[in-house]
Structure 1
Amino acid sequence: MAQSSPSTGKVITTSLIVTGNMLGAGILALPVDLGPAGLFPAVLGALGVWALMTCTGLIIARQPFLAQNRDADLPTFFEVVLGPVGKWVSVAANLVIFYGLLTAYLAGVASVLVESLGLAVPSWVALAGYFCIATLFASFGDVVLRKGATVFMTIMWGLFAVLVVMVVPHFEGHGARGVDLVFFTSALPILVVAFNFHNVIPTLCRVLDHDRQAITRAIWFGSGLGLTMTLIWTVAAMLTLPMESANGVDIISAFKLNEPATVPLSRLITSRLFLDVSVAFAVVAMTTAYMATGVAMLSFLRDVGGRMGRNRLVVWLTAFVPPLLVGALYPNIFIDALNVVGGIGVGSLFGILPGLLLIRQGEPGSRRRLAGWGIVCFFSVVLLVEIAQMTGLVHITPDVEYWNARQGR
């Protein structure tokens, strides 16, 4: 008897894993890290990178190997399709992604709790407290993730709607008054990480019984929903916050301090309701993504750990203790961690490698192979931009004088 396709309800709830994985630190960092480029580059760049990232996700999800080897994760997949080099690039990039994202979520929530709520505790205390709760959720696996994602996304939509309604009366149109394409290039890594959901693809495929049509619908719906919310939030924040101001409540100051966008917004909109809702939204968004990333991290470590991968305690400690320690030692690492994740980890693993897959599987001169080369070239630029900034070869900062002139100051 032929196996029935997953129900529409299962496809929708599974697609929320994709959305939840996207709407973590990226949605909170985009207005700050991309804002000094201007509103129009931010919107057009987001649309372009979203489309590209969704396509690379579909490239991975449609590979027959994942359906034929249902317990395999991405390192084993890339080893089979691209050889030993593919595996070790995958392992190295995955470590950057997982540890970077988990650290960014922990640091981001700690920053929101301490800076917005004014908690009279060190950042590491807030971070450790949040770690205990969020990691508990992330430790339960695929089933709890799928059900939990639905609950968290429902809460997030409600909070998101309230935030947008409260921000609209404060629109000033600051971000729409200029364009800085030089700074835009420096923000490419944050755009890549904002639309990354690829680590949950093996989990998504297993949940949907490797049904190709169901997986395709889940990815497009989940990533499209994430794009919609990201664009609405980014535009709202950039139209509300000034680029630069005397009191430091602005996008450029938040950029220098590695703060999520909710922090300066809660200072600008002096309402207790807005403060509470913005904090709740940030915590729920990053918790949803932390859960998805944590589940994918555990699956990854079991895949590459060999015999040690069978020891649940060792896998758990390896997954979650390093981000806790790094976040506690460097509490202001939020945006810096995301840039490293996007430029080096995500760009290599979910950009360059899927592009190489198309090149390898396409006929000479075919559209498939040409598309593969285009993908490789774009993500190679993203990688080079991040490496250049990390090593100090290039130092791109917001053009304060330009934005002051645009704001009439």
Structure 2
Amino acid sequence: MNVKSIGATLLISGTMLGAGMLALPLISAGLGIYNTILLLTVLWAIMTYTGLILLEVCLNYPEGTGLEAIAYDLFGKPGKWVINISLLLLLYALSCAYIAGASSIYKNDFTDYFHISVSSHTIAIVFTIIIATIVFISTKAVDIANRVLFTSNIVIFFILVTTIIPYLHGHFLVNDHDSAKYAFAAIPVFITAFGFHGSVPSMVKYIGRDKPKTLRNIFVAGGLLPLVVYIIWEISMLGSLPRFGNHSFQYVAQHGSSVGVMLQQMQIFIQNNNIIYLIGAFSSIAMFTSYLCVSLGLFDSLASTFKRGNNTIDRLMTAVLCYLPPLVFTLVYPNGFVPALGAAAIFLTILAILFPVLALRKLRGKQHQIEYNVATNNIALFVVGFIGLQVIINQILTLNNAVPIFK
């Protein structure tokens, strides 16, 4: 790979790596490490495959053609609106998750570092205002803040991984109570950890539609890096806290599956404040950068949908639409981090699994000139589409407490 391809690969990885990984140990504690690694690998393969399917679709359109325009060409106005609405609801759901997660983490930070108690509602409001201010200033401000913080967090993560190893408990990872039944609730959240599909049209434009094999390698490698990071993260977290007991993942689950509570419980077993501070710093920065990037996407999408300009009044109106609804949700449901991520999986599944499968079937049916062919057939497309429908059904059942949830 050349320098440009390496940069594109890291951009794809950066799209996936973020605050969503904080929810992975919370939702996978009941599964156990072996089931977790297997499930992560299977879902990585499925999401990478649908990304390559979407690549084939995008290569049949001029560079810069977005998913909305492709949906309109293949499915008319209904397709365009489904993609638009799914994208907006996905970004709103992620916004709700990140504000809720930030409230939990920063409340814990204030208690541990400054020994003061701040309400989660206050933190949610201040956090949202800070993010909104940066986005309101300019996209360049977002880019600078994200570049500095994301780079810092990569360094923190590698320091954390190397220093936490001596404090891991092997018997926490090997447990007779591992159960695959918790996969139904875990799958939707795991799916959100591999969502890069919205970047496919941009990558085609950046690398060039005349380099399909390079693009294929970028998407495979760009997804493989997060998979490795997630597995290391899961081993580190699940090996730091027991499954059951007064201080355990079970306790965390019974107290709203809060990231802040998880960090508090880990302090009991990791007798090294530096490691606790590293975990806290990594979690805090990940939550900040993730919401910064997601809210920028939501801000721009809302401005485009409602045809708002770039003047101060229009940007203020867009900001209200962008930040007020998820903030109100968080104030009403402060423990909504994991549930909101699960809800986001519904809309991500539409965009990243169902749409690519249906678009490719329609495209090949129209006998377009195919410049890059994914190895697939009707049976494979049916199976992948069925899995997508199952993800949505799983999440609906999870929201209605109709599937086993670790408690």
TM-score (norm 2): 0.84
Match among 111, 116, 120 for residue 104 of structure 2: 111
For 2:157, give the aligned amino acid.
F
Match among 375, 386, 392 for residue 395 of structure 2: 386
Residue in 2 aligned with 1:292? 293
Q: Note if contact 2:9-2:221 (Cα within 8 Å) is conserved in structure 1.
A: yes
Q: Note if contact 2:241-2:248 (Cα within 8 Å) is conserved in structure 1.
A: yes
CA spacing shift, 1:304–1:263, aligned 2, 3 Å: farther
For 2:130, give the aligned amino acid.
I
Q: Note if contact 2:74-2:362 (Cα within 8 Å) is conserved in structure 1.
A: no
Superposed, 1:55-94 pairs within 5 Å as: 55-64=49-58, 68=62, 70=64, 73-94=66-87
Superposed, 1:245-394 pairs within 5 Å as: 245-246=245-246, 249-256=247-254, 257-260=256-259, 261-305=262-306, 307-308=307-308, 311-342=314-345, 344-362=346-364, 367-392=376-401, 394=402
Q: CA deviation at 1:22?
A: 1.6
Is 1:171 the counterpart of 2:168? The answer is yes
Distance in 2 between residues matched to 1:136 and 1:221, nearest whole Å: 35
Distance in 1 between residues matched to 2:192 and 2:39, nearest whole Å: 13
Q: CA deviation at 1:374?
A: 1.5
Distance in 2 between residues matched to 1:84 and 1:177, nearest whole Å: 52
Residue in 2 aligned with 1:183? 182
Residue in 2 aligned with 1:44? 38
Q: Deviations over 1:86-145 (max 9, x none)?
A: 223223322321011112112112201113542411112222222233344445776666
Q: Deviations over 1:224-260 (max 9, x none)?
A: 22221111001221122111112xx322222332212
Match among 117, 120, 129 for residue 117 of structure 2: 120
For 1:371, give the aligned amino acid.
A
For 1:359, give the aligned amino acid.
R
SS of the aligned residue for 1:41 comes to helix
Residue in 2 aligned with 1:30? 24
CA spacing shift, 1:216–1:123, aligned 2, 3 Å: same
Distance in 1 between residues matched to 2:301 and 2:221, nearest whole Å: 25
CA spacing shift, 1:204–1:255, aligned 2, 3 Å: farther
CA spacing shift, 1:197–1:371, aligned 2, 3 Å: same
SS of the aligned residue for 1:58 comes to helix
Gap runs ≥5 in structure 1: 1-6, 401-409
Q: Note if contact 1:160-1:281 (Cα within 8 Å) is conserved in structure 2.
A: yes
CA spacing shift, 1:99–1:322, aligned 2, 3 Å: same
Match among 383, 388, 397 for residue 405 of structure 2: 397
Distance in 1 between residues matched to 2:123 and 2:5, nearest whole Å: 36
SS of the aligned residue for 2:280 comes to helix
Compare 332-341 and 320-329 and name the one that shifted more. 320-329
Q: CA deviation at 1:189?
A: 0.5
Q: CA deviation at 1:385?
A: 1.1
Q: Note if contact 2:240-2:270 (Cα within 8 Å) is conserved in structure 1.
A: no
Q: Deviations over 1:357-377 (max 9, x none)?
A: 23323469x933322211111
Distance in 2 between residues matched to 1:98 and 1:29, nearest whole Å: 17
CA spacing shift, 1:65–1:133, aligned 2, 3 Å: farther
Q: Note if contact 2:184-2:403 (Cα within 8 Å) is conserved in structure 1.
A: no
Please give the root-mean-square deviation of Cα atoms over the aligned residues, in Å: 2.9
TM-score (norm 1): 0.83
Distance in 2 between residues matched to 1:368 and 1:295, nearest whole Å: 37
CA spacing shift, 1:264–1:369, aligned 2, 3 Å: farther
Gap runs ≥5 in structure 2: 368-374
Q: Note if contact 2:27-2:186 (Cα within 8 Å) is conserved in structure 1.
A: yes
Q: Note if contact 1:156-1:281 (Cα within 8 Å) is conserved in structure 2.
A: yes
Q: Note if contact 2:58-2:204 (Cα within 8 Å) is conserved in structure 1.
A: no
Q: Deviations over 1:282-330 (max 9, x none)?
A: 122222322332232234334433x346744433332233222222332
SS of the aligned residue for 2:195 comes to coil
Sequence identity percentage: 23
Residue in 2 aligned with 1:152? 149
Q: Note if contact 1:65-1:77 (Cα within 8 Å) is conserved in structure 2.
A: no
Q: Note if contact 2:63-2:208 (Cα within 8 Å) is conserved in structure 1.
A: no
Aligned pair count reads 386
Distance in 1 between residues matched to 2:224 and 2:289, nearest whole Å: 17
CA spacing shift, 1:360–1:110, aligned 2, 3 Å: same
Q: CA deviation at 1:45?
A: 0.6
CA spacing shift, 1:188–1:83, aligned 2, 3 Å: same
CA spacing shift, 1:198–1:286, aligned 2, 3 Å: farther
Superposed, 1:156-235 pairs within 5 Å as: 156-173=153-170, 174-178=172-176, 179-208=178-207, 212-213=211-212, 215-235=215-235
Distance in 2 between residues matched to 1:269 and 1:312, nearest whole Å: 46
Q: CA deviation at 1:172?
A: 2.0
